[in-house]
Chain A
Amino acid sequence: MTEEIVIAGFGGQGVLLAGKLLCVAAMRRGLQVSHIPSYGAEMRGGTANCSVVISTEDIPSPVIECPSVVIALNGPSLVKFLPRIRLGGMLIWNRSLIAIAPSRSDLFSFPLDATDISLANGTERAANMVAIGALLRLKPNLVSMKSIEAALDEVISSRNRKYNSLNLRILSVGYEMAEKIVANK
Chain B
Amino acid sequence: MLGKVLMKGNEALAEAALIAGCRHYFAYPITPQNEIPVYMARRMAELGGTFIQAESELAAISMVMGASAGGVRTMTSSSSPGMALKQEGISYLAGAELPCVLVNVMRGGPGLGGIAGSQGDYFQATRGGGNGDYRTIVLAPGNAQELADFTVDAFDLADEYRIPVLILVDGYLGQMSEPLTLPKPNGKKFEKSWAVRGSEGKSKNIIASLRLVPDSALEVHNLHLQDKYEKITEEVRHVDEYRCEDAEWLIVAYGAAARVARKAVDSLRTGGTRVGLFRPLSLWPFPDRELNEFAKEVEKVLTVEMSLGQLIEDVKLSVNGEAEVDFYGRAGGAVPTLDDIIGRIYSYEHQDHTHVQAS
Contact = CB atoms under 8 A, between A and B. Distances in A.
Contacts of A62: 172, 176
Interface stretch (B1-9, B86-94, B227-235, B279-287): B1-9
Chain B interface, DSSP helix/strand/loop, else mixed: mixed
Interface of A: 20, 23-24, 27-37, 39-41, 57-63, 65
A31 B1 contact: yes
A48 B264 CA distance: 30
A58 B335 contact: no
Nearest to B8: A35
Interface of B: 1-2, 4, 6, 31-32, 115-116, 172, 175-179, 256, 259-260, 262-264, 266, 335, 337-338
A27 B6 contact: yes
A23 B176 CA distance: 12
Given A27-B4, A30-B1, A61 B172 contact: yes
Contact of A34 (B32, B176, B335, B337): B176
Contact of B177 (A31, A36, A39): A36
Q: Which of A32, A36, A41 has the most CB of B within 10 A?
A: A36
A29 B6 CA distance: 13
A60 B177 CA distance: 13
A142 B1 CA distance: 15
A91 B256 CA distance: 28
5 contacts: A20-B177, A23-B6, A34-B178, A36-B175, A41-B115
Contact of A65 (B6, B115, B266, B337): B337
Contacts of B177: 20, 23, 33-36
Given A20-B177, A58-B263, A39 B337 contact: no
Contacts of A27: 1, 4, 6, 179
A140 to B, nearest CB: 20
Nearest to A63: B335
Contact of A63 (B1, B32, B172): B172
